[in-house]
Structure 1
Amino acid sequence: MNARVPITTVPQQVPQQLRIVLVDDHAIIRQGLRSILEREVDLHVVGEASTAADALAVVEQQCPDIVLLDLKLGTGADTEGLQVCSELTARFPGVGVLVLTTFLDDHLVLEAVHRGAKGYVIKDVDTTGLISSIRAVARDESAFDSRSASVMMRSIRTAPEDPALTEREQGVLELLARGLSNREIGSRLFVSETTVKFHVRNLMRKLAVSTRAEAVYEASKMGLI
């Protein structure tokens, strides 16, 4: 009689969940976003806020990875979210702020990045685009939809080549401004993703910044390309 061989079940790996806080003054928007995001196994909404004060309190309590932030909160200034962005990135540097708003204005896009946002997406973005942006921010990459990426490109003024940047670093910088990931940049420049990461680190060191989005903002002010 043959001995029965036990069947070993290999447990499937569960993707690490990204903890998300939604900051928007409209409850129906927050409910819709929660419904969309929690269809993804790696996304989990851990808190919501409708005001600046609530946003800071919820983030402190929940310690999220990502904050989806609208620029208009309640009856205050249309750009109250910019101040919230500044406070969030100053008090919680490990949190990635992704602006999700109806406003598309060159100044607002640049100002949000200057205040620490890692991305800027307009609310009519499709579900796939929004989820991709959230995951990009979680990877510490910048995230812009096509229109806000165009704003970043327009902000980069034409100027003589700066000797502090190599030709390759300038090419990487231009693609960063278009919101491309390391893999996409490598594909465009025919180099490995590891090589792109090396150039990005050098760029951030030379520009004295800590995020990709900040690198593009500083470069636009300095006219590096």
Structure 2
Amino acid sequence: MPERIRTVLLVDDHAIVRQGLKSLIEYSRTFRVAGEAATAGAAVSLAAALRPDLALLDARLPDGDGITLCGQLKSANPGLLVIILTAYQTPFLVESALREGADGIILKTIDGEGILDAIRAVFLGKCVVDPALVSSFAEGIRGKSRDLRGNESENRLLGLLRRGLTNKEIAHELGIKEKTVRNRLSALYRKLGVGNRTEAALLDVGTFVPTNRDK
């Protein structure tokens, strides 16, 4: 009996990237692209309608990010496998993605055969992480344990992020202007080595520890 062809949902806001991935995946004759989406919202709808076996997500989308989308798709579609494609070696991307249930995280610099190998490995039950991302993650962990010291205001800001508050709500909570919140968040992201509020909020609660002057 011939092996069942596995279906894949492609999620990337660049049509040319989706076209290239589709050609690569279908050339293998082992997988078939069931659908394509350019936004997180469209991906949620298509996943529910098409029930693909695997979703290949871009880490950054016009209306969200691949990490948050991964968690949403996993919750709504039990059994769905997810691989995240990223162009960025953000230190805590691996930690955040795995926490949301990702089955693989690979860099966009990977070649075509590497992408197919990652898909095959995930279908065999393996978790695939690009070696370069493992190195970046390890460096981030070392830096986190060595250098990160949060003052009282930074710890409070991180706590408000984890509660899911918007910039406007954070400004009201802290009694400051919304522009000030944006500036403080940008500084916090740089210090944590993350790219957005989702990645910051998904860091371990123990990431920041008080400085001596805050004890």
| TM-score (structure 2 length as normaliser) | 0.62
Q: Which residue of 2 aligns with 1:21?
A: 9
Q: Which residue of 1 aligns with 2:75?
A: 90
Paired residue for 2:130, among 145, 160, 183?
145
Task: Please give the secondary structure, in 1, of the residue aligned with 2:102.
Answer: coil
Task: Please give the secondary structure, in 1, of the residue aligned with 2:36.
Answer: strand
One-letter amino acid matched to 2:66: G
CA RMSD of aligned residues (A): 2.6
Change in 2 beyond 3 A, CA 1:134/1:112: same
Change in 2 beyond 3 A, CA 1:41/1:108: same
Larger Rg: 1
Provide the identity percentage.
36
One-letter amino acid matched to 1:60: A
Paired residue for 1:44, among 32, 40, 52?
32
Deviation at 1:119, TM superposition (A): 0.9
Q: Which residue of 1 aligns with 2:158?
A: none
Task: Please give the secondary structure, in 1, of the residue aligned with 2:121.
Answer: helix
Paired residue for 2:108, among 107, 123, 133?
123
Task: Please give the secondary structure, in 1, of the residue aligned with 2:27.
Answer: coil
Q: Deviation above 2 Å: which 4+ runs of structure 1?
A: 13-16, 149-157
User: Does the aligned pair in 1 maintain the 2:74–2:101 contact within 8 Å?
Assistant: yes
Q: Which residue of 1 aligns with 2:121?
A: 136
One-letter amino acid matched to 2:95: L
Deviation at 1:80, TM superposition (A): 1.9
One-letter amino acid matched to 1:136: A
User: Does the aligned pair in 1 maintain the 2:94–2:134 contact within 8 Å?
Assistant: no
One-letter amino acid matched to 2:28: E
Measure the CA separation in 2 of the matches of 1:109 and 1:86: 14
Measure the CA separation in 2 of the matches of 1:140 and 1:36: 22
Task: Please give the secondary structure, in 2, of the residue aligned with 1:105.
Answer: coil
Deviation at 1:89, TM superposition (A): 1.2
One-letter amino acid matched to 1:35: S
User: Does the aligned pair in 1 maintain the 2:105–2:128 contact within 8 Å?
Assistant: yes
1:81 aligns with 2:69: no
Could you list the per-position Cα deviations for residues 186-206 of structure 1 after superposition, in whole angstroms to 9, with x for gaps in the alignment? xxxxxxxxxxxxxxxxxxxxx
Deviation at 1:86, TM superposition (A): 1.2
| TM-score (structure 1 length as normaliser) | 0.59
Measure the CA separation in 1 of the matches of 2:64 and 2:51: 24
Task: Please give the secondary structure, in 2, of the residue aligned with 1:85.
Answer: helix
1:64 aligns with 2:52: yes
Q: How many residues align?
A: 147
Measure the CA separation in 2 of the matches of 1:137 and 1:62: 20
1:35 aligns with 2:23: yes
Q: Runs of 5+ in structure 2 lacking a partner?
A: 143-205, 207-215
Could you list the per-position Cα deviations for residues 47-86 of structure 1 after superposition, in whole angstroms to 9, with x for gaps in the alignment? 1101111001111111111100001112xxx962221111
Measure the CA separation in 2 of the matches of 1:104 and 1:118: 17
User: Does the aligned pair in 2 maintain the 1:129–1:145 contact within 8 Å?
Assistant: no
Q: Runs of 5+ in structure 1 lacking a partner?
A: 1-12, 158-220
